[in-house]
A and B are shown apart, each in its own frame.
Chain A
Amino acid sequence: MSWVTKTLSSSLGKKLIMAVTGLSLIAFLLVHCGINACIFLNDGGHTFNEAAEFMANNLFIRVTEVGLMAGFIIHIVDGLMLWKSNTDKRPVKYAVVKGEANSTWYSRSMGLLGSLLLIFLVIHLRHFWVVSRFTDVITSGEKTLFQEMTEVFANPIPVVIYVLGCISLAYHLLHGFQSAFQTMGWNHPKYTPFIKSVGAGFSILIPLIFAAMPIAMYLGWIA
């Protein structure tokens, strides 16, 4: 085995992969949230459609998108593998576990929260990514992406699913954001409190903005 594969398949290496891919997904979320928040301008989706079109046609963005896909897949596969192998490290379970005495429930539930995110992701990609990339609904000019959004969110079921997805994301990040820095070895009395505050702020604010979109559309605040 080369030293690279040996390192990346060690427990610390697998963790490093989680942290690096996790942080790239966080960077992606920031861009994604910024663009989608254009709908709050309430200009009939004009700015949002333009931004979406720019993203769809820009070469740099399209290349980055391939990296993003790889990042998602690696994060998910590595995460599920770690989850499985970690569970196997305690073949006989405790009869009594007082988890709340030593850690937060969401830090102990990263695999579960991640799996909920995965389910959400499949539904979400089906709603918008598949429609915009693999059908000609948007390209033919039949509908804009904004119209597609308003149609999806006229129905309460997707709205509830999206809000639940955002809650899972919030808790996943509430632990994951600062955890990624610890994994990368970045723990310092000067910076760690700052990272933790920024992480908590990000984990609450970004999912909140995302969740506001389907709600606002359902209630007709944005049309």
Chain B
Amino acid sequence: MNLSLKVWRQKNANSEGKFQQYDVQGISEDMSFLEMFDVLNERLINEGESPVAFDHDCREGICGMCSMYINGEPHGPNKGVTTCQLHMRSFKSGDTITVEPWRAKAFPIVKDLAVNRSAFDRIIAAGGYVSVNTGNAQDANSLPIPKDNADDAFMAAACIGCGACVAACKNASAMLFTSAKISQLALLPQGQAERTMRAEKMVAQMDVEGFGACTNTGACEAECPKGISLENIARMNREYYGAVLSSK
């Protein structure tokens, strides 16, 4: 396959960025989108140019590092996959593909397509944890958990923190991410100790970081590679209103 790429190049957070056009030839349709970038970068390095910076790690859809905004959609055109799982067979030879970084005030650009997502870490640090006592783990059966809650918590816990929800949202809102992190703990007995303060603090941190307010467009859910449901945002809203009314 031969493709024409329009890639956002930006030296660092403070410099002006611009699109650069690259023509890549001989791409196999079995390559992943990132492997196609590896081919391009190898060539750029050989030509003495600086390679395109992009985040990646596991390359199997579980770490949440890869983050490319491809032809107007985070993680590209396919549903339920990350950029590393997107294969070139989803494109046609001769296509022009526009690749941008996640764009949000709360995700400053580090270089080219790599953005700083530490705002997510600070949201988690604000309350996305449980107090665990030291000592032996207790018998799992001593903590009865309704099957529905276990399933919902598990589905929320599937969030890999990639930030595609923020990238997709017209308001750059982090509510799908934050709500998944609040939900996975609020639904389980282990999460009850910090439940009230968790909702208050994580929402407050989310606002401090400069993410927008949700308009319920559903773009996040549609673009999330892990299919995190909007039900989590409704749950976060309940958790938050309940928390501010009951906390001391």
Contacts and interface: CB of A to CB of B under 8 A. Distances in A.
Contact of B77 (A89, A101, A107): A101
Given A10-B207, A186-B234, A86 B77 contact: no
Most buried by A among B168, B203, B217: B217
Nearest to B100: A94
Give the interface SS of chain A, mostly helix, strand, loop or mixed.
helix
Interface string A141-184: 00000000000000000000000000000000001000100111
Interface string B161-187: 000000010111101000000000000
Contact of B217 (A94, A95, A104): A104
Given A182-B233, A185-B235, A95 B19 contact: yes
Interface residues of B, number: 47
Contacts of B211: 11, 89
Nearest to B6: A95
Nearest to A14: B213
Contact of B218 (A14, A103, A184): A103
Interface stretch (B81-89, B103-111, B131-139, B190-198): B103-111
A95 B5 CA distance: 13
A73 to B, nearest CB: 19
Interface in B1-40: 6, 17, 19
Interface centre among A6, A12, A95 (most CB of B within 10 A): A12
Contacts of B168: 102
A83 to B, nearest CB: 9
Task: Indicate the member of A98, A103, A110 with the most B CB atoms within 10 Å.
Answer: A103
A15 B237 CA distance: 10
A187 B73 contact: no
A108 interface: yes
B234 A86 contact: no
B215 A107 contact: yes
A64 B9 CA distance: 57
Contact of B72 (A16, A82, A101): A101
B212 interface: yes
A11 B77 CA distance: 30
A186 B231 CA distance: 9
Contact of B203 (A12, A85, A86, A104): A12
A93 B98 CA distance: 14
Contact of A185 (B72, B170, B210, B238): B238
A97 interface: yes
A90 B103 contact: yes
Interface string B222-236: 110000001101111
Interface of A: 3, 6-7, 10-12, 14-16, 82, 85-99, 101-104, 107-108, 110, 175, 179, 182-187
22 contacts: A6-B244, A11-B211, A11-B213, A12-B203, A16-B237, A85-B212, A87-B171, A88-B105, A89-B104, A89-B172, A92-B17, A94-B69, A95-B19, A96-B72, A98-B71, A101-B73, A102-B168, A108-B219, A110-B215, A179-B215, A182-B237, A187-B234
Query: What 9 pairs between A and B have smallest CB-CB spacing?
Result: A98-B72, A187-B234, A185-B238, A102-B222, A89-B212, A86-B171, A11-B213, A185-B237, A96-B72
